[in-house]
Each structure stands twice: as C-alpha cells, then as structure tokens.
Structure 1
Amino acid sequence: MAELKFEVPEGTVEGLFSQPGGEGFRVLVEAVAQALINTQADAHFGAPWNARGLERPNGYRNGYKARGFQTVAGALDLSIPQARNGGFRPTLFDRWQRSERALLAACGEMVLAGVSNRNVSRLAEEAFGAEVSPSLVSQLVKDLEPAVEAFRTRPLETYPYLIVDARFDKVREGHRVRSRAFLWAAGVNEKGEREVLGWLDWGGETEVAWEALFKDLKARGLKGVDTLVSDAHEGLCQAATKAFPGSSWQECQAHFLRRAIEQVKMADQKAFRADVRAVLHAADRKRAVELLDLLRAHWAEKSPKAVDYVEEHLDSLLAVLDLPEGHHKRLRTTNMVERFNQELKRKSRLVRVWPNAESRERIYGALLMEQHEAWTGLVWMHMGSPA
C-alpha cells in the first residue's frame, strides 16, 4: 500500500482543540483528501508529479482542475490531476452518501429536462464538484434504484409503536407542476430500536393513500402495532382504524398545541398554551382531569370555543398515559420524524421543483435509508409490555 503523506498549515492541529468543528478541522480534512488524491494519481500514472525518465503506463498528466467537495467538515477546495487521455478519477468522488448521489441525479434530470440549465449545473458543480451529464445521471440512477427499492420492500416484523408523517412538494408532471404528498412511516421494534419502515409517493394525503401505505407495510410483515402516533389528519385516522383494529391512536401534542392557541386572542396565546401544555404533560389521567378543571375555570368565559376544542381532543391526546411511564415523553409527539422532515425540507429547497416523482422518491428513499442506518443498534427506549 502506498504511503500517504500530507502537510497542514501551522496552527491547524491546535485549532482542532480550541475551535470544535471549526476551520482547523476543515483544513485538516482537506489536506488528507488532497493527499489521498495525489497518492492515487501517482499510482495511476506510475510516477510522482514532475518525475523524469520514468515510464507512465497510463499516460501523462495534463495539469489540474479545481473541484469543490461538500463534506460534514465543510466545503473542501481540491485540485484534481488531469490525464491527457481522461482516464484518471479519484475514488473519493465515488464515496458520496446515497442521498448526495440521488440529489446529483435529480440535478441532472432537471438539466436534461431543460429546467434552469445554467443554474442547476452551477448548483451541481458547487455542491458536488461534478458536472452533470446524461451518462452520469444514467449511472447514478442505475446504482441507486435497486438499493433503495430493496430497502423499501424488505420484510418487516413486530413494531409496538408506529409513527407516521407526510410532506408536500412541487413535482413536475408533463408540462404542469403539481403538489404531491410523500407519506412515510417509522417504527419502534421490540428491542426499543427505531427503524424506517416504508414510504409512499401519492397525489395527496388522503385516506386512500394512507390505506395503501398501511397495506404495503402489513403485506411485508408488519404486525403487533399497539399505538400509532400522528397528526390529526382525518383520512389518516380512518385508514389507521381499518388497518390496525384494537390499536390506540396518540394525537401529536405539538401539532395540537399549534392549532389550539389559534382559538384564542393573540394576547392570550402564551398563557393559554402553558395551561394546555400542563394538562397534556400530566403524569396520569387523574392529574390531567384536575388540571383540565382549572383550565376550564380560567378560560371558559373568555374563550369557550378554545376550551371545547381541548376537551374534544383530550382522549386522543392522552392515549400515551396508558403506556409505560418511560415511554410518555418519547411518544407524545411525532418529533422523532419531524426532525428528519427538516432534512427532507432542506434537500427539497435546493431543487425547488422536482423534475419528476421518481427523482424525489429516489433521494427521499436514500435519505431514509441513511437515517435507518444511523438508528440501527441504538436503543431509543427500554421496552416493556404496553400497559
């Protein structure tokens, strides 16, 4: 194996300790990446740069090309040796995460479709250090689709807790741009580990769409669902009742709170939110009823509709109290999936309008695979038989 040598500017290593995650770390990663590229180039050409009198079985160098490369450490500025015959490519650029390759493929599809060609090409170049071309898009799609589809259709098992969510994006369909829903489900298995279970691209967030997703999950082996956590979408609730008879439904308290405070005047929202939150975070139903009585006494005359709204939803909001106490905080909201939805939103903001439904599903699927892998082996909650 070739020896890897690299140099870093003075003070960089010290910066690693004085500035966590700062510029020192980025420069160090950049130096290592550049050294890796140079070492691979020496091996490819059969001689170091500027060496004289040595045979070069794979041709000669032809200068350098500057390339940007995005990493968790920040943007790297790299110099890529060029070959006269075009035959050298560092393996570094073949090791992108699936989601990065999927986004690059989406950029390419946008270019091929004639959508903002110049802007999209610049985005791909700046974000990935790669030029989009029909051949690159074809190869990326060829590599990604089998892996994403195999993950989406894998066998499932017992998941006592199911957490679901949806988001909408603008997707190009022919000559029109439409809003399409992306539904997805995560679960907590009997070991207390989180898993991404599946997803569905659909025209809207309807009862039929949720029925289709739940049917797919059950066909792949999903069973033992004790509690489903979600927002209060009517179609979702109806589909869940049909798919998982006997299970409980926990309405997301965070979503509910945002709607509840809209029932009172702006000046009262902060105080009303605090009172409702106290009810929802009660340790048991007895205490929740006591706090609800206090809320009613304080707000019934001033905001009767708001009090009625809380009472109408109370049973679904407190379903979590029937579960082991250690599970209450984890399952009272859909925060587990909401945080990841922010990553989906960030990627979608880059694209703005997806070139087609397939490209969106490809990148979201790749991101969900990566999230699933990050969760693997991590105990999120200590399981016991649901109360």
Structure 2
Amino acid sequence: MTVVKRNKRAKPDPELLKLADSLLANYQKPEDLIGENGLLKQLTKMLVERALETEMTDHLGHDKSGEVTNGTGNTRNGHSTKTLKGDFGALPLDVPRDRQGTFEPQIVVKNQTRWAGFDDKIISLYARGLSVREIQSHLEEMYGAEVSPTLISNVTDAVSEDVKLWQARPLDAVYPILYLDCIRVKVRDNGAVRTKAVYLAIGVNMEGHKEVLGLWISQTEGAKFWLQVVTELKNRGVQDIFIACVDGLKGFPDAIEAVYPQAAVQLCIVHMVRNSLNFVPWKAQKEVAADLKQIYSAATADEAELRLTEFENK
C-alpha cells in the first residue's frame, strides 16, 4: 500500500501574528485597512522607509549611532521628502541623505515618482481607447492620484518609442514557417473610434518557437499592402521562408512570391475548413468540422490518409 504524505501548511511566525493583531486592534471597517490613511498604506510607508535606512547603513558601513568606518568619512545628512503615486494614491516618504551625495537607493531610485506597475495602468487604459482626460479622471477616482495630462502623455510617448524600436528590430535570416493574417479592431483615432485592419506577421524560428515579427495598421486589407509587409521583413534581415501560411485573399500568393520566389504558399487550415463548410448544410457543419479536425490534427501522414478515407466514405 502506498502512503501519501500531505504537505503541512507552513505556520506563520508567532511574532508576525502578534504584530498583525496589534495593528488590527482598532480595525472596524474596510477603509481602516485600505483607505486613504489606511493601515496598508501606513505599513507600506514604514517598510519602505526602513528598507531605505537599511540601504543607507549598507552604503555607509555603519548605522545611525555607529562609528564611522568608511574611508571617506561620509555620514548621514538628514532626509529629503519624496512622494510616490501608486494604487493607494500618493505616498509621502522620508528618504535618507548622505553628506557626499553618493547614496543611490534601490527600492526607490532617484527621480522615481510612481510605483512600478502604475505606468502599466496608464498604458492599459490608453490601449482601451480612453482619452487623456478620461485616464486622468479614472486614476483620480480609483486611486485618489492626481495625474497630470503631461505625465500621461510622457508615459504613452515613451511606450510609442519602444514600439518603434521593436517594430524596426533586426530579424533572423530564416523562418521555416511564416503566418500572415489580418484582424480588425476598433481604435481611437483623433478623438473618434474607427475600425482598422491590423496586419500581423508571426514567424516560427529555427528553434520551433513562434515570434511576432511585426504589426502594421491600415484601413483595409489588400495584397498591395501585404507586399509592403513582406518587403519590410526582407529589409529587416529575413532572407528566406519555407512556407507562408495565408488566407484566401486575391493576389496574396503573388505578393509573397515577388519577394520570396522559392517559398511555398499554403492556405491556412482555418480558412481551408471555412471554405469547405461553404459546401455543407448548416445543420451538418459542426459534425463535418469535427471530422475534418481528425484529418489535419493526425500525428502521421498515414493516419491522416486513413482519416481522409473515412471522411470520404462517410
């Protein structure tokens, strides 16, 4: 008989439990914990400031009351005030200083004004199509953080620069498989929401991993624009692709072969199935699609031939 031992749940430190009990002694409502002046905010302030003091001790080599042992005679020189914005609103901190100005804190670096993750919220709201004014109102309502339009613009502009660098990065010389497709999404453009086509290129590299090679936005999908896409891929270093997997857009294969004449152009499975179902009554489409999947998901060519024969007979 096999005996299965259950892992024992780790018990919290008794001292931490005592501390938590003492901190929560006056707890009555959720605002006491997570409000503007709640316990979590106060605890965060205390922990960060203690960490900063520890970093200063490590930097100088002695604590506040300790003997100066560093060779330069550097010592503490009071504190400066810094305010960080985050999920809990604005958090004022006392940051220790040294006389020689050589202290470089790590937990809150110089010139940092927001907690890590706060920029992500701005980008997330921006990506959902919210205007600068709407983002500003949302952050103030949800987190009590007054964020200027300039800050929001700086954050989104910084990401835009990163996107440009990513879009122009050099690519591998060979991608055995290249998927080219277009999706339509709603985007905010000059204050209005419009539907635009996003051209997507996904390559399978020599290690077998998928890699997004680029994204391009246009009003409509067309073979002429796809020609520009594959030309850009060539200019960014892609010398050869073996198989280009595309939809049934007219002129698409010609656009690819103009840049990669040796590539095999193959209609993607999803579009092949959709085209096949055009010849099937609506009530039978679900069953036919399931039978087709048995063919293209077969592990070997022989198994696929067998499933194809079964499909034909059925």
Match of 1:335 in 2: none
The two structures, once aligned, show a CA RMSD in angstroms of 4.4
Deviations 1:119-165 (A, max 9, x none): x5554457787555321123213422332211211111222221233
Match of 1:138 in 2: 153
Q: Map of 1:47-86 to 2, 5 A cutoff?
A: 57-58=79-80, 68=87, 78=88, 80-82=90-92
C-alpha contact 1:162 1:186 (8 A) present in aligned 2 = yes
The separation in 2 between residues aligned to 1:210 and 1:163, in whole angstroms, is: 12
C-alpha contact 2:132 2:153 (8 A) present in aligned 1 = no
Match of 1:207 in 2: 223
C-alpha contact 2:175 2:241 (8 A) present in aligned 1 = yes
| Shift, 1:82, TM fit | 4.1
Match of 2:123 in 1: 102
| Shift, 1:285, TM fit | 5.5
2:268 to 252, 263, 266: 252
Task: Structure 1 unaligned segments of length 5 or more: list them.
Answer: 11-30, 46-54, 69-77, 299-387
Match of 1:39 in 2: 47
The separation in 2 between residues aligned to 1:80 and 1:290, in whole angstroms, is: 66
Match of 2:207 in 1: 191
TM-score scaled to structure 1, two decimals?
0.50
C-alpha contact 1:102 1:140 (8 A) present in aligned 2 = yes
C-alpha contact 2:132 2:149 (8 A) present in aligned 1 = no
2:286 to 261, 270, 282: 270
C-alpha contact 2:49 2:93 (8 A) present in aligned 1 = no
The separation in 1 between residues aligned to 2:82 and 2:242, in whole angstroms, is: 65
- SS of equivalent to 1:154: coil
C-alpha contact 1:105 1:140 (8 A) present in aligned 2 = no
Match of 1:377 in 2: none
Q: Map of 1:142-181 to 2, 5 A cutoff?
A: 142-157=157-172, 158-174=174-190, 177-181=193-197
Bigger proportion of residues as strand: 2
1:82–1:281 distance in 2 versus 1, CA, 3 Å: closer
The separation in 2 between residues aligned to 1:272 and 1:189, in whole angstroms, is: 33
| Shift, 1:33, TM fit | 9.2
Greater gyration radius: 2
| Shift, 1:59, TM fit | 5.2
1:295–1:43 distance in 2 versus 1, CA, 3 Å: closer
| Shift, 1:192, TM fit | 2.9
| Shift, 1:219, TM fit | 0.5
- Structure with the greater relative contact order (CA < 8 A, sep ≥ 6): 1 or 2? 1
**Percent sequence identity over matched residues?**
26
1:295–1:195 distance in 2 versus 1, CA, 3 Å: closer
* Residue-pair matches, total: 244
Alignment of 1:222 with 2:222, yes or no, is no
| Shift, 1:243, TM fit | 2.5
Task: Structure 2 unaligned segments of length 5 or more: list them.
Answer: 1-14, 22-38, 54-76, 95-106
1:140–1:174 distance in 2 versus 1, CA, 3 Å: closer
- SS of equivalent to 1:225: strand
- SS of equivalent to 1:264: coil
The separation in 1 between residues aligned to 2:301 and 2:81, in whole angstroms, is: 77
Match of 1:383 in 2: none
| Shift, 1:176, TM fit | 5.2
| Shift, 1:226, TM fit | 0.6
